Amino acid sequence: MINVINKLKKEWFLVGMVIAIALATITPELGKSGGLIHLDKLTGIGVAIVFFLHGLGLSPSAIKAGVSNWRMHIYIQAATFIAYPLLWIIFGDLLLAYMPAALAFGFCYLFVLPSTISSSVTMTSVGKGNVPGAIFNASLSSILGIVITPLLIQAFMGFEGVELDLVASITSIAKLLLLPMILGQLARPFLLKFAERHKSVVSKIDKYVILLIVYNAFCDSVANGIWSSFSMQMLITSIAICAVVLLCMVHLIQWGARRCQFQLADEVAAVFCGTKKTLAAGIPMATVIFGSNPDLGMILLPIMLYHPIQIFYCAILASRYATQSEQVKTASSH
């Protein structure tokens, strides 16, 4: 019994993920976006704090190194905007043959979306990866996606009349990411020693934020009836496809990163930035691209399913990477 308790304490993050999902199925109205506790705003504050701490902890030379790593940048953007869309080119006809067109096009939409910002950077941080590189690529992906995503949708699906506000999107990214980072950099001379003294607490903040994001994501899924609006067979098939796509892409990107002889920190950033697909930007973009399409709910189903799956699996993967990173660091010090 004591061994079990000790094991659970060691894996508290994974246990917390399971608890967050269980709570979401019971209390979706509490944790959904715009719900009783406005968890979406709370997680936004949490993400800002995580980015502030990144800014606090990063030296200017580390930031410069992150921006200058062009091989990793090309690799990540190619994974997001070439490898994923290729899935539709290869399997699109098969999906259209075996499921409703709206749902099949939903997978097309999932494949052409840009990466997330907050969770990909946060996961990279948890996994002891290249945080400056992740910040640069997540931001670049979001900006490129504003143009590339509707262009690919138009090429694959033939929708027209796409009009997205580039300036507003860049501004929101800057507020979410760059402002806390800049404030962290400015506060570095004053707060760095304090943060280092309380490293045990500071290092866990990003994991707490991920737990809140997981709870919020699953609450949104439950509250939006994502588990009850479709037949069980269709739902299970969609979940299976999302899981298989994620697993295959994670291992493909890992394999490619090792073939390119990336350092472990760069591999971590490549995996989390290259496999993530944004729900936060995906839903607003969908309402613009597809307008008042009555099948919008079914089109959005794949990204609604993929989002919590990617958070859950990548959180587990991040913990494994963190352990691997510590082992590499320990081995190199001896």
| Model confidence pLDDT, tens digit, residues 172-199 | 656 766 788 789 889 988 888 888 888 7
Q: What is the pTM of this model?
A: 0.72
What pLDDT is attached to residue 115?
A: 92
Residue 166 has pLDDT above 60, yes or no: no
Work out the average pLDDT over 97-116.
91
Q: Between residues 141 and 246, which one has the greater pLDDT?
A: 246
Q: Which domains does the chain have, with CATH numbers?
A: 2-323 (1.20.1530.20)
Per the CB < 8 A criterion, the answer to whether 324 and 129 are in contact is: no
Three-class SS of 270-325: HHHHHHCCCCCCHHHHHHHHCCCCCCHHHHHHHHHHHHHHHHHHHHHHHHHHHHHH
Residue 307 has pLDDT above 50, yes or no: yes
**CA 218 to centroid of chain Cα atoms:** 14
Residue 267 has pLDDT above 60, yes or no: yes
Q: Between residues 22 and 255, which one has the greater pLDDT?
A: 255
What pLDDT is attached to residue 162?
A: 45
DSSP 63-101: HHHHHH-HHHHHHHHHIIIIIHHHHHHHHHHHHHHHS-H
Residue 62 has pLDDT above 80, yes or no: no
Per the CB < 8 A criterion, the answer to whether 312 and 248 are in contact is: no
Work out the average pLDDT over 17-22.
83
Work out the average pLDDT over 28-33.
86
Per the CB < 8 A criterion, the answer to whether 32 and 223 are in contact is: yes
Residue type for position 7: K
Q: How many residues does the chain have?
A: 334
pLDDT winner (highest mean) among 20-24, 54-58, 65-69 = 20-24
| Model confidence pLDDT, tens digit, residues 269-288 | 999 999 999 877 787 777 77
